[in-house]
Structure 1
Amino acid sequence: MIKWFSLGFWELIARLILRNRIIILCGIVFITILLALQWKNVKFTQTEANLIPADDKVNVDYDHFLKNFGEEGNLIVIATKDPKLFTPKVFKAWSTLMEKIKSDKEVSLVISVDNLQQLVKNDSLQAFELKPFVNAEKVNDAAYLSQLKSDFFNKLPFYDGLLFNKKTEAVRSAIYLDKKIVNTKARKDYVLHKFIPEIDKFYKETGIKPHVSGMPYIRTLNAKTITDEIGLFIGAALLVTSLIFFYFFRSFRATLTSLLIVIIGVMWSFGIMGGMGYEITVLTALVPTLVIVIGIPNCIFFINKYHQEYHKHANKAKALQRVITKTGTATLMTNLTTAVGFATFIITNNALLEEFGVVTTINILAIYTLSLLIIPIFFSYFPPPIPRHLNHLERKSLTSFFNWIINTVKYRRFSVYVTSVILLVFGIIGIYEIKISGSLIEDMPKKTEFFDDIRFFEKEFDGVMPLEIMINTKKPNGAMKLTNLKRMEELQETITEIPELSKPLSIVNVAKSFKQAYYNGNPEFYELPSSQEEAFLLPYIKNSLKNTKDNQLKSYITDDGSIARMTAFIKDENGEKMEAIESQIRAKVDKIFPSPKYEVIITGKASVFQKGTKYLLDNLLSSLLFAFALTGGLVAIMFRSFKMVLVSIIPNLLPLLMTAGLMGFLGIPLKPSTLLVFGIAFGMSVDDTLRFLAQYRLELGRNNWKIKKAVFATFEDSGISMFYTSIVLFFGFSVFMLSSFGGTVALGGLVSITLCFGMLSNLVLLPSLVLTLNKTLANQQEFIEPTIDILEHSDEEVDELERKKN
């Protein structure tokens, strides 16, 4: 049978690498320069992560809403509860702040108490006019401002919940950015370099620190924090992995070589993203650090194998050649399985995850190639390792650890299985305790000022995350008909009764304010007009909407009057209840807006995000099953044995179930960041499984097909590398716990824990299963001659090849 990646193939590769060292190094330098030229194309994303495919109905509905009413995420709010606001000095400073913000070209509209317009009836024009609520000539009069405060809270019910909280007397201003800049770099530049300096200036002048929030503001500061943390992660990963590496090998040359490899890998990762036109998102921002964390174990494996070979025969050239010829396919396959773990994100039908999967897969193969080329070439120029560099192969603490593992596998396999079953039950029970998070802000940095401000607005104004309802009457001016206004009012009453939602705002509120204005601003008339009043109010309303160019009220109805918009806000902590809330609203909608006469869409960023999380969960579970199937298929092809498939899957499935159970018991919800844990951890943990099984099969041949001897010989050869790489991966992923983002902390911590479980599972449960399930396997001819040869080839095989060559 023809074997793929045969010994002769890798012997050829070894000759090519070691005989063309200068050319290869120049080629690496050239590629690095080319990719460095692509750095200028690396940009940070200006939009939120949309986890749902563009053609999904959820996105189609949201796009339909945006087409009719424009970008909803263009509102910034500024608020204060300080009673000094209605004093001459502070009120003047507030007015100056709002005027300065309004004068910026990036701002389309500012609604604030100082520039508030109220509706006034003009009988001669049969229209309502907007006139200033504040008399600018009297704002220096404390008595006038005191009366103004009373009128503001008691005579403008339309703005209750929008510009003020009557119960707590919190006051806020609404700033609408130009919708054209909301998803561009201009938004970031405006918020960071114009808006925030003006807020700071007001604070210095008055001593009052305003609370600021709104999606443009949150997105900008959130993105800035992510960008700042990229350097932190890279630096921390380099420091931690290099210290661990040096502790293991006690060699500056080996440590610096490994650092150089991963630094080049990081440079390539940015160049690849730039060259492919991918933006840096909350996921792709992790790629450079992943390159370091994954690259260092590759270096460990190659350098440890070099030391083992040199320790045998003290021939440097022979050791370097055999690093490649004996381990070529094994290291390639383990890197491919890691890449497969990340590549599963490509099949999720989501652009964000697809890009992350593509970039990580390419970079994993790139860092493997760099390790394969640079380590043999550099060490060919270095002096041979000295005894201090080889002492780690016989370190007493490591020897004691492996003696414990060997004794456990030899004499306590039943205890291993009992413990595994207990842990399996623990994981399954915990899985039932896991909740799915629909929170938009849960992963945001909680120790920042802007996160505290989000909580302020949730408390005072029932949240900043919009839930949008679009009601299509399918008739021109249908949304302005009294019958439909009453239907919408009935829906608003239902929404008001839902404790998780704020009081909704729609054309109903506009119509009520028109009636109040018609009766000279008397708040007792803030209600829908009667059928008799509709006839003489309708001309006023139509003329007012037609003649007012920048009226913010027009945001609640389309130009032809056929589609109305209703907006409520939800506290972020209630995101997980979104599905139940929507069901409650939908039940009412179906009753009062029957189809096909009406079309009602329930959407908004909060709704889209929650549905995106659920979509991501369904797709990642599917992709994880695909990864299991792919790995099982690879093992089946390599070993032609169903037993070996079970042996390879079980030790990697158990750590995932344990981690899931731990999440349930600790109250860690399933969300985009924690969902990624399982695909990443599986792709990396299965490396050790394949490495162990490959070496085990080789040892069977060396030890006359005696299973126990082969298993324990495998520990001697591959155990150290498995242990070293697992430790590096554990601490490497732990650097993500330095993040201020809850999601990144959870990702780093959970992957680290899963990999730790995976290491113990591969070192204890895996050999136990091999000993139990493979009692008859060693005699099977198909096991002896697999389709794909992934072995670390024996000295005898290499010697035989060299004799034939000579």
Structure 2
Amino acid sequence: MFAIHYPRRTLVWVFLLLLVLMAGLPKLALQSDFRLYFSSDNPQLMAFEQVEQAFNKQDTLSFVLSVNSGDLLSVAALTEIKKLTDAAWTLPYVRRVDSLTNYQQIRSDQDVIEVADFFTGTETVWSATEALRSVRDDADLLNRYINADASLGLVVMSLDLPGDNPQATSELVGAARQLLHDADLQSVTVELFGSAVINLALQEAVERDMAALIPGSYLLIFAGLFLLTRSLAGSMLALGITLLTIMATFGAYGWAFAGSNGIAVLTPVVGVVPSMIMIVVIADCLHLLSSYQHYLREGLQQSAALEQTLRINSRPVWITSITTAVGLLCLNFSESPPYRDLGNLVAFAAMLAALLSVTAFIAVLAILRPPAHRKLPGRVISAALADFSQRVLLAHPLRSLLLLLLLATTAAAGMSRLAFNEQWHRYYDETFAVRQVLDKQDEQLHGVNFIQYRIEAADGGTLYRTEVMHQLQQFADYLDHQPQTGFTDSVHRPLLTLNKALHAGDEAFYRIPANDDAVAQTMLLYEMSLPAGMGLNERITLDQSATRLTVNLHKQSSGQLIQFDEQARLWAATNTPALRIQPGTGLDMVFAWISDRNSISLFKGTLLALVLISALMLFVLRSWRLALISLIPNILPALMAYGLWGYWVGQVDLGLSIVACMSLGLVVDDTVHFLSKYQLARRQGESAEGAVRYAFATVGTAMLVTSVILAAGFALLLLSPFSPTWGMGGLMALTVVLALAADLLLLPLLLVLSDRQPLSISKD
């Protein structure tokens, strides 16, 4: 009661605490590297990093080139491509630049073998027709840096991005945009793509949502709060507590996780954290505000009304905060570190929100003049629901229960339609520039997904042998003939071309050399002819014991990628015994596997959360019956929401797989408040029916208001063009609505039917 009797002193101490926590905010930095989504012990990530250590990282930035007129093989277009290629070397963090113009084409003229740039800019005679023919005849070039009709091409920059600089990607992309701005190109149009742009687009998408939709949801929630409670001060105070909790929570993260460089890295996943915190804070504040208004209407004086509000709500507020924290802390079972951070942030915020609601919120209410008595829309709707429950549902409780369970089962059955699929290329809608260029590259060039294979000789020897190279060619040919394949990058291809050139261009020698010595000598000749910075280290190890083969694929789901990899390795095991092929890897494959792994881990976490929350409910309610009953309205909403999502969308990804664990910690809030009021009334001698009526009267309004406005706030996220945002917003809004329905319709039936005392239905 300290906050009621010493409100100003309470506010001073609270704000001092908040200032200390918020001092950690400058330590935060947002970073969007996809590698941050995987723990260091993730087996697929470890395999990917081993490949990168052997062959260099595959972080890229690309200039996607479209011709304004004609094709890209005109002298004017090639001159500008060469200009861009040369300028690209000056960009920060660029290790290598590859394009059509500096592609090392192998030419033969009688006894002279030349490995030189496709276009140097000094050519005195140039035939675009002849150049197009040479492109189409070069399997190592076609669909790699230019497509078959020469309408689309690439300049690809391989990157060495520092891991300790969260701003490196933004710096690089900003420099590239400036380079294109200053280039004054006339013949070609350039768009940016590559992993660097995809990473930055993820960050920019979240920032755009936070700048537009999050404030919009706050305004919507404020309007809903005011309309349903008719308390301007209470509504503004609840939002103020929300904003302070958000800033203090992120500040605490800055203090706790700042590295040796003084920076605490956040990922775009935290974009949903403000909305999650908003749920927790608004729920706590609204339950207090609703009770306060209730007791004022009952005729209590301000101080007495606040004391009674704290007396019946402080315990449920702390219980709901603890159960919310328990549910969210179980996100630490997630395979993805950013989602662990999300759970830890909101769990901390839940406890902080409880503290602020029973101190600062109450203290400000104690200072303000009590509101005038008004007929509240929220209370009117709540009373109507209570009347419906009493006159319709409880009049035929068993029949009503069976009907509701049938509806719930039908909704939950949609979970059988769900498929776990990660498709990062569907994150962005057509309003994003990255989506437009992504579709262009997928439709007109080599696709946007890729799988990398580390391939060694089965006997552990060198790859520079006839049989080994021949089987490498067979494997690459198999991949090339798959309908999903756009381009296969294999080290055997220049060997074929050079062997043909060494035999005066005879097509019969476009094959692997006939003996091991010839293979080794030919590859050595090719490698020695390459200019500095253009060696084979991207494709083959220094000791020639392993090679990286990359297959580029047109848009695939995670399940399709896994199936492609399994079929490819099954074929290789039968047809290329001289090769030892490691499972396919790359970021696409790491993402492909993590959804299934994450779902299994989160299922374990959710079970643990259920056990812990049930134990806590049993400890607090001192009733096995009520503790078991509470599980039903806590579990059913998530099952029904996922089921309806299965009917509507049919698939979930990494972001949506965590909603069940998140929602479990949140939907329990209304259940706890309803049960605590029900139990209080029963202990005061009310019948089961009367206790349900008392629970509706004391917490029904708060449950209704919080659920409706929070569902509306989440539903607003459906307007986002970024699928992780609208997907999570839609699924959370659906879960909140279903949780409200379960608490207001199903829970009273369970309580009455499980009560041993006879039921008496009032007719008036």
Which residue of the other structure, out of 97, 101, 106, is the alignment partner of 2:84? 97
Amino acid aligned to 2:687: K
Deviation at 1:742, TM superposition (A): 0.9
Equivalent pair of 1:120/1:520 in contact (CA under 8 Å):
no
Deviation at 1:271, TM superposition (A): 0.9
| Distance change >3 Å, CA 501–CA 155, structure 1 → 2 | closer
Amino acid aligned to 2:419: K
**Residue 656 of structure 2 is aligned to residue 674 of structure 1:** yes
Question: What is residue 291 of structure 1 aligned with on the other side?
Answer: 277
| Distance change >3 Å, CA 185–CA 384, structure 1 → 2 | closer
Equivalent pair of 1:334/1:690 in contact (CA under 8 Å):
yes
Structure 1 distance, partners of 2:689, 2:385, is: 19
Which secondary structure state, in structure 1, belongs to the residue aligned with residue 370 of structure 2? coil
Which residue of the other structure, out of 6, 10, 13, is the alignment partner of 1:24? 10
Structure 2 distance, partners of 1:138, 1:472, is: 41
Question: What is residue 544 of structure 2 aligned with on the other side?
Answer: 561
Structure 2 distance, partners of 1:175, 1:697, is: 67
Structure 2 distance, partners of 1:111, 1:621, is: 45
Q: Percent identity among equivalent residues?
A: 17
Residues 194-224 of structure 1: per-residue CA shift (max 9 Å, x gap): 212333556x743753344221121122222
Structure 1 segment 567-586 matched on structure 2, within 5 A: 567-586=550-569
Question: What is residue 784 of structure 1 aligned with on the other side?
Answer: none
Deviation at 1:468, TM superposition (A): 0.6
Which residue of the other structure, out of 102, 109, 113, is the alignment partner of 1:115? 102
| Distance change >3 Å, CA 152–CA 518, structure 1 → 2 | same
**Residue 672 of structure 2 is aligned to residue 690 of structure 1:** yes
Structure 2 distance, partners of 1:319, 1:641, is: 29
Structure 2 distance, partners of 1:658, 1:526, is: 61
**Residue 260 of structure 2 is aligned to residue 260 of structure 1:** no
Deviation at 1:671, TM superposition (A): 0.7
Equivalent pair of 2:595/2:657 in contact (CA under 8 Å):
no
Deviation at 1:288, TM superposition (A): 2.2
| Distance change >3 Å, CA 387–CA 446, structure 1 → 2 | same
Which residue of the other structure, out of 79, 82, 85, is the alignment partner of 2:72? 85
Structure 2 distance, partners of 1:77, 1:214, is: 8
Which residue of the other structure, out of 194, 213, 219, is the alignment partner of 2:193? 213
Question: What is residue 116 of structure 2 aligned with on the other side?
Answer: 131
Question: What is residue 346 of structure 1 aligned with on the other side?
Answer: 332
Amino acid aligned to 1:751: M
Structure 2 distance, partners of 1:338, 1:777, is: 35
| Distance change >3 Å, CA 73–CA 351, structure 1 → 2 | same
Deviation at 1:394, TM superposition (A): 8.4
Equivalent pair of 1:471/1:601 in contact (CA under 8 Å):
no
Equivalent pair of 1:237/1:293 in contact (CA under 8 Å):
no
Residues 154-184 of structure 1: per-residue CA shift (max 9 Å, x gap): 4433212212222x43442232233244884
Deviation at 1:395, TM superposition (A): 4.9
Which residue of the other structure, out of 448, 461, 464, is the alignment partner of 1:480? 464
The normalised TM-score by structure 2 is 0.91
Structure 2 distance, partners of 1:214, 1:566, is: 19
**Residue 396 of structure 2 is aligned to residue 420 of structure 1:** no
| Distance change >3 Å, CA 679–CA 53, structure 1 → 2 | same
Equivalent pair of 2:72/2:151 in contact (CA under 8 Å):
no
Residues 623-660 of structure 1: per-residue CA shift (max 9 Å, x gap): 22222222222223334444323311122322222212
**Residue 627 of structure 2 is aligned to residue 645 of structure 1:** yes
Equivalent pair of 2:331/2:662 in contact (CA under 8 Å):
no
**Residue 383 of structure 2 is aligned to residue 383 of structure 1:** no
Equivalent pair of 2:485/2:554 in contact (CA under 8 Å):
yes
Structure 2 distance, partners of 1:177, 1:41, is: 30
Question: What is residue 636 of structure 2 aligned with on the other side?
Answer: 654
| Distance change >3 Å, CA 158–CA 772, structure 1 → 2 | same
Deviation at 1:741, TM superposition (A): 1.0
Deviation at 1:562, TM superposition (A): 0.5
Deviation at 1:325, TM superposition (A): 2.4
Residues 57-103 of structure 1: per-residue CA shift (max 9 Å, x gap): 32322221121112122252523265343344444333322322233
Equivalent pair of 2:449/2:556 in contact (CA under 8 Å):
no
Equivalent pair of 2:379/2:701 in contact (CA under 8 Å):
no
Question: What is residue 635 of structure 1 aligned with on the other side?
Answer: 617
Deviation at 1:362, TM superposition (A): 0.4
Structure 2 distance, partners of 1:271, 1:342, is: 19
Deviation at 1:561, TM superposition (A): 0.5
Which secondary structure state, in structure 2, belongs to the residue aligned with residue 478 of structure 1? coil
Residues 709-738 of structure 1: per-residue CA shift (max 9 Å, x gap): 222222112211111111122122223223
Deviation at 1:678, TM superposition (A): 1.4
Equivalent pair of 1:438/1:609 in contact (CA under 8 Å):
yes
Structure 1 segment 541-620 matched on structure 2, within 5 A: 541-545=523-527, 548=530, 549-592=532-575, 598=580, 600-620=582-602
Which secondary structure state, in structure 2, belongs to the residue aligned with residue 276 of structure 1? helix
Deviation at 1:275, TM superposition (A): 1.7
**Residue 164 of structure 2 is aligned to residue 179 of structure 1:** no
The gaps in structure 2 that reach 5 residues or longer are: 258-263, 760-764
Number of equivalenced pairs? 751
| Distance change >3 Å, CA 646–CA 537, structure 1 → 2 | closer
Residues 434-485 of structure 1: per-residue CA shift (max 9 Å, x gap): 1111312222344212102111111223422220110133778611211111
| Distance change >3 Å, CA 446–CA 365, structure 1 → 2 | farther
**Residue 266 of structure 2 is aligned to residue 275 of structure 1:** no
Residues 269-297 of structure 1: per-residue CA shift (max 9 Å, x gap): 32123222342213222212322232122
The normalised TM-score by structure 1 is 0.87
Structure 1 segment 135-154 matched on structure 2, within 5 A: 135-138=120-123, 144-147=126-129, 149-154=131-136
Structure 2 distance, partners of 1:641, 1:320, is: 29
Question: What is residue 707 of structure 2 aligned with on the other side?
Answer: 726
Structure 2 distance, partners of 1:680, 1:128, is: 64
Residues 588-638 of structure 1: per-residue CA shift (max 9 Å, x gap): 23335659x846242111111010111111112222222222222222333
Structure 1 segment 733-772 matched on structure 2, within 5 A: 733-772=714-753
Equivalent pair of 2:290/2:699 in contact (CA under 8 Å):
no
Which residue of the other structure, out of 222, 240, 244, is the alignment partner of 2:224? 244
Equivalent pair of 1:344/1:627 in contact (CA under 8 Å):
yes
Question: What is residue 387 of structure 2 aligned with on the other side?
Answer: 403
Tell me whether 508-517 or 323-332 shows the greater mean CA deviation. 508-517
The gaps in structure 1 that reach 5 residues or longer are: 1-13, 779-806
Equivalent pair of 1:107/1:175 in contact (CA under 8 Å):
no
**Residue 435 of structure 2 is aligned to residue 451 of structure 1:** yes
Which residue of the other structure, out of 480, 495, 498, is the alignment partner of 1:496? 480
Which secondary structure state, in structure 1, belongs to the residue aligned with residue 601 of structure 2? helix
Which residue of the other structure, out of 150, 157, 165, is the alignment partner of 1:169? 150
Residues 489-536 of structure 1: per-residue CA shift (max 9 Å, x gap): 2222322233223332111113223213323556664432223xx534
Structure 2 distance, partners of 1:555, 1:393, is: 67
Question: What is residue 11 of structure 1 aligned with on the other side?
Answer: none
Which residue of the other structure, out of 519, 524, 527, is the alignment partner of 2:511? 527
Which secondary structure state, in structure 1, belongs to the residue aligned with residue 486 of structure 2? coil
Question: What is residue 193 of structure 1 aligned with on the other side?
Answer: 174
Amino acid aligned to 1:691: H
